Structure 1
Amino acid sequence: MLVPEENLLGKSGSGYEALTRVFTRERAFLAAVCAASVKTMLDEATTYARGRIVLGRPLLQHQATAFRLAELDAELALVEQYTGAVFDLLDEEAAALRQASIAKLRASRLQRETADLLLQLHGGAGYLDGGPVERAYRDARAYGLAGGADEALLHLIVGHPRADA
């Protein structure tokens, strides 16, 4: 059955391009959501580590914990900057499939790393069904799949080389 021209959402044959724009925006949005989740988890982890006493001092005063939190915070700063740049491209109506894929890949991986640390800090209590740590860990895994799993994003990144390459 043919669709009348006045009922088309765009030019005939342009469906893939339109769908790509939607997926690009979705990935940028998911990168921002993942980054916001990382910020929340880092705040929670820092608060918890400040109050949890291990070997006679707060967990935050243990170098390994403090340095890991600092590394994740530094990575978050980069992801936030890059994701902001992706939204700038989208505002300019520029092609951003590669950049949005990179932002979503890095943000969702960072979210999983941060959830893993949060669970590690809380230990067995982090596994409590329905608790905030368990939810954060579960959600981080789900966001890793939404908008394309890592392998799908890597495939897109490889297929869309840098403009200066």
Structure 2
Amino acid sequence: MSSTSQKISYMSSPRYTEVLVRNIENLGGAKYMFLTHKDDVADHDKWSKHFGCDRILHSGDVEESTVDIEMKLCGDGPWSIGAEFELIHTPGHTEGSVCLYYKPQKVLFTGDHFAKSGDSKFTIFAHYNKDSVEMQLDSVRKLMDLDLKWILPGHGRSIQFRDNQEKNSALEDFLARN
């Protein structure tokens, strides 16, 4: 690690591979590992041990494999990580689903709260829902107040908006269809 490198503030939990390890090391490592929900946590323990980063997960999604998570979110939030990151409780896919909002770039990382499928802007893959589809749809409404340019879903391609009005129209259309 060079002396001018900075740790990245956030990383999700992909499979642990040497190629990704080197790439993240070249960016300066990681301070936190944010887990959006209880499934898709892959090799979180290997990443945490390698980078010495604190893992964040909602307490509603803690299971045997994640019991040693360093930071367990409790309640309905929202929570902040410094001035740049806001964590938004979006239950439905799982009890403890949480989205990460990166304010400077107006980007929302959703995990499995959203997916992009085909030509649609959004879908929620109701057949994979582990908690409540109705609750997940209610959680979508929470996102209307966020000033977003991008939504990066857990599955499918990213979604870019010209402005907040376009984002809200897309969310309203989605909710009307569901």
* TM-score, with length taken from structure 1: 0.24
* TM-score, with length taken from structure 2: 0.23
Bigger share in helix: 1
Could you say which structure has the greater relative contact order, defined with CA pairs below 8 angstroms and 6 or more residues apart?
1
